[in-house]
Amino acid sequence: MKKFINARIKGQEGLSQILVEHGKIMAVGEKLPPAEEKIDLKGKLVCAPYVDPHLHLDYVFTADMGEKNGSGTLFEGIQRWSESKGNTSVEEMKERIRRGIKKEMLQGVQAIRTHIDVTDPTFTGLKAALEVKSELKDLLDLQIVAFPQEGMYAYQGGAQLVEEALKMGADCVGAIPHYELAREFGEKSIHTTVELAMKYDRLIDVHCDETDDSMSRFLELLNALVLMEGIGSKTAASHTCSFGSADNSYAFRMMKLLKKSGINFISCPTENIYLQGRQDTYPKRRGLTRVKELNDQGINVCFAQDSMSDPWYPLGNGNMMMILDHGIHIAQMMSPEEIRNALDLVTVNGAKTMNLADYGVEVGKSANFIVLDAESEFEAVCERAQVLASVRKGEILFRREPAVVTEATDFLK
């Protein structure tokens, strides 16, 4: 039995204690019975671990692998990856995947959904991701999307490769309808996605309408199909940039239908503000979906990193607080209430999208949480607080000292 004391649990008043046995939270309260081991969290903010629901782990640190993405667009990114993806091996891929995960975990992430390119008959990325998932099963919730980066139909045999990837153990069906060669093929890929999810009982995560084209409306079909099948809560629409460019009267009607299905949204703020609006002069679009409006409607939205130094995006370090900071700026979400709830966008909302059942600082759940260098939600967001500790099943994954000033003039002391 061990006890974490002086925890300021997000959403709760005052200081709490957390009693842990066999990796589970046994009790949370002001004053709990003594335990053999006591860990002082010194009044810092405690919340459920960061979740990154959209990350291309097979691409991490490949920005320098081939020709550069000169236009900075999504479509050239796909072309550059396609040219260089054959020059790798399962071992090389595993080494990069581990490095990417380590970067995220050292910043408090304990759950990642990764979109692995399966338009590759050798399944190099999928094999690597499945092996790393099994290696790290006690440390990290890793979900794998069978993602046809070059299309289910634009790539010869793409749909069959997605199905094969599900048989090999991928957790989610992916698609990229806006990249298919014609609208009809994009729609066909959405039908196939839902059929495969039903056949293999898997989750869905579609790269959906990642374009400024306001007429790219694959979200409408995806939402309708999962609504009819009753699997909206098991479905995520990633990016949906075009929904940010759509006409208001169209969006108004869609909002009601999106709420009805229970579909989840994943927005990648740093990535999409960088990739989108490339054909605009001025005014230049922000490229994000309607994060604020979806959230106001009670539709589940979360933020994700998407890339770490790959042909689409040269930066990215797995720091979800940085993603959150960009996201609430770009989406204009800074009312007192929005700031108070901002952490949800990189924690509980992501967990809901991933359908994680064992998540939250609550009795009966695994003792998984992070400690932020802040004493309130506002301070955490305003100061972009560092993660001081990450605890998994009651064990400390890492702990770091808060940053200290070592020398200062009198005024700055």
Cβ closest to Fe ion, residue 58 vs residue 306:
306
DSSP 213: -
Give the separation between CA 46 and CA 369, rounded to whole angstroms. Answer: 7
Give the separation between CA 127 and CA 133, rounded to whole angstroms. Answer: 10
Cβ closest to Fe ion, residue 114 vs residue 349:
114
134 vs 129, 131, 328, 405, CA distance in Å?
9, 5, 35, 41
Cβ closest to Fe ion, residue 108 vs residue 311:
311
List the structure tokens of 223: 């939402």
Give the separation between CA 152 and CA 167, rounded to whole angstroms. Answer: 16
Cβ closest to Fe ion, residue 47 vs residue 322:
322
With beta carbons less than 8 A apart as the criterion, state whether 189 and 177 touch.
Answer: yes
Shortest distance (Å) from residue 74 CB to Fe ion: 9
Stretch that binds Fe ion, among 57-65, 116-124, 212-220, 304-312 (CB under 5 A): 304-312
With beta carbons less than 8 A apart as the criterion, state whether 370 and 108 touch.
Answer: yes
Give the separation between CA 269 and CA 280, rounded to whole angstroms. Answer: 18
DSSP 3-state of 266: strand
Cβ closest to Fe ion, residue 104 vs residue 306:
306
Cβ closest to Fe ion, residue 57 vs residue 246:
57
Shortest distance (Å) from residue 315 CB to Fe ion: 15
Stretch that binds Fe ion, among 132-140, 245-253, 299-307, 329-337 (CB under 5 A): 299-307
Q: By CB under 5 A, what part of segment 317-346 binds Fe ion?
A: none
Give the separation between CA 187 and CA 175, rounded to whole angstroms. Answer: 10
Shortest distance (Å) from residue 94 CB to Fe ion: 20
With beta carbons less than 8 A apart as the criterion, state whether 173 and 198 touch.
Answer: no
With beta carbons less than 8 A apart as the criterion, state whether 319 and 108 touch.
Answer: no
Give the separation between CA 288 and CA 345, rounded to whole angstroms. Answer: 15
DSSP string, 305-350: -B-SSBTTBS-----HHHHHHHHHHHTT--SHHHHHHGGGGGTHHH
Residue whose CB is nearest to Fe ion in the complex, by number: 306
Within 10 Å of residue 92's Cβ, how many Cβ atoms? Answer: 12
The answer to whether residue 210 is catalytic is yes
Q: By CB under 5 A, what part of segment 71-110 binds Fe ion?
A: none
The residue count for binding Fe ion (CB under 5 A) is 1
Shortest distance (Å) from residue 164 CB to Fe ion: 21
**x/- site string to Fe ion, residues 248 to 287, per CB under 5 A?**
----------------------------------------
Amino acid at 106: L
Shortest distance (Å) from residue 84 CB to Fe ion: 17
Cβ closest to Fe ion, residue 243 vs residue 369:
243
Stretch that binds Fe ion, among 33-41, 150-158, 198-206, 306-314 (CB under 5 A): 306-314
Shortest distance (Å) from residue 403 CB to Fe ion: 32
With beta carbons less than 8 A apart as the criterion, state whether 240 and 287 touch.
Answer: no
Q: Which of 210, 271, 338, 377 is catalytic?
A: 210
Residues whose CB falls within 8 Å of the CB of residue 169, separated by 6 or more in sequence, listed in order: 130, 144
Q: Which of 24, 32, 57 is nearest to 392 (CA)?
A: 24
Cβ closest to Fe ion, residue 58 vs residue 338:
58
Stretch that binds Fe ion, among 37-45, 59-67, 172-180, 302-310 (CB under 5 A): 302-310
Give the separation between CA 266 and CA 153, rounded to whole angstroms. Answer: 24
* Helix (H) or strand (E) segment spanning residue 119: none
Stretch that binds Fe ion, among 123-131, 298-306, 342-350, 351-359 (CB under 5 A): 298-306
Residues recognised as catalytic: 210
What is the binding site for Fe ion (CB under 5 A)?
306
